[in-house]
Amino acid sequence: MYRNRAVRGFTLIELLVVLAVLALLAGLVGPRVLNQLGGAKSNTALVQIRDLEQAVELFMLDVGRFPSSEEGLNALVVNPGATGWKGPYLRRNQVPKDPWNREYVYRSPGEYGPYDIFSYGADGRLGGEGENAVVGNWN
């Protein structure tokens, strides 16, 4: 009746200690990782807005004016009947949605410049902080 002691498994206590350590690490690291992920969406929105700005500027160089609020950003991919239009001015021939899957807002004339391009952020409302803050071409 010899038992092979070399083939022992972990005890229940050892497994519980490992699970407790993993839970503690997840509790400490998880919120920071999620916070960084949220910031990435705001940064993505800002990069997309910069691309849209370049397209609006190209439209203006060709047509001699900025798209009106009524024409909106669609004037960058479909000729709104403007003389001199040489578009589409966006790479994929479509206006991208913001990282929260909403349309970007375009106003011309803008409140902060000749035109405003912005996203209302995660909550889809004016104002807010962090991920809920408005991201625009004036930021």
User: For residues 138 and 59, what is the distance between their CA atoms, to the nearest angstrom?
Assistant: 19
Q: At the top level of CATH, which class does the domain 13-136 belong to?
A: alpha beta
Among all chains, which residue has been given the structure tokens 């498994």?
9
Q: Is the peptide bond before 88 cis (omega within 30 degrees of 0)?
A: yes
**Tens-place pLDDT, residues 64-123:** 999 999 999 999 999 999 999 998 999 888 999 999 999 999 999 999 999 999 999 888
Longest dimension (CA), the chain: 97
Percent composition of the chain: helix, strand, coil (DSSP 3-state, to 5): 45, 5, 50
Q: Which residues pair with 118 in a beta bridge?
A: 105, 136
**Tens-place pLDDT, residues 27-73:** 777 666 665 555 788 899 999 999 999 999 999 999 999 999 999 99
Among all chains, which residue has been given the structure tokens 């950003």?
73
Domain residue limits, the chain? 13-136
Query: What are the Cα distances from residue 43, in Å, to 23, 27, 138?
Result: 30, 25, 14
Q: Is the peptide bond before 109 cis (omega within 30 degrees of 0)?
A: yes
Query: What mean pLDDT is predicted for residues 14-18?
Result: 81
